[in-house]
Amino acid sequence: MSHPVRARALRVLNQRVASPSELAAEQDAPVGDVAYHVRVLRELGMIKLVSTRQVRGATQHFYRSVVPPHLDEELWGKLLASCA
């Protein structure tokens, strides 16, 4: 993947359900940055929203990968184009 935050997020979401805030904590990265990359992955159809939860007046979103760990050529092309 052309961005390490996106690559790490997809790797985790291939293994389990997680929220952007959980991914950010694991990567020691700002939540806003991770949320942006999660949004790109969702727009590309690589992950899907599986649940939500109310947390202190906000809605926490949980995602899971919908593609196998090995990506086909079409998905790689979309992913790389989104990073340009």
pLDDT higher at 16 or 73: 16
pLDDT higher at 7 or 76: 7
- Amino acid 3: pLDDT: 81
Average pLDDT of the segment spanning 9-28? 94
Q: State pTM to two decimals.
A: 0.78
CATH number of 4-83: 1.10.10.10
DSSP, collapsed to helix, strand or coil, labels residue 47 as strand
From first CA to last CA, the distance across the chain in angstroms is 12
- Amino acid 4: pLDDT: 84
Q: Record the tokens describing residue 53, joined without a space.
A: 């939860």
Burial readout 43-72 (b: 16 or more C-beta within 10 A, e: otherwise): ebebbeeeeeeeeeeeeebbbbbebeeeee
1: nearest Cα among 49, 62, 47: 47
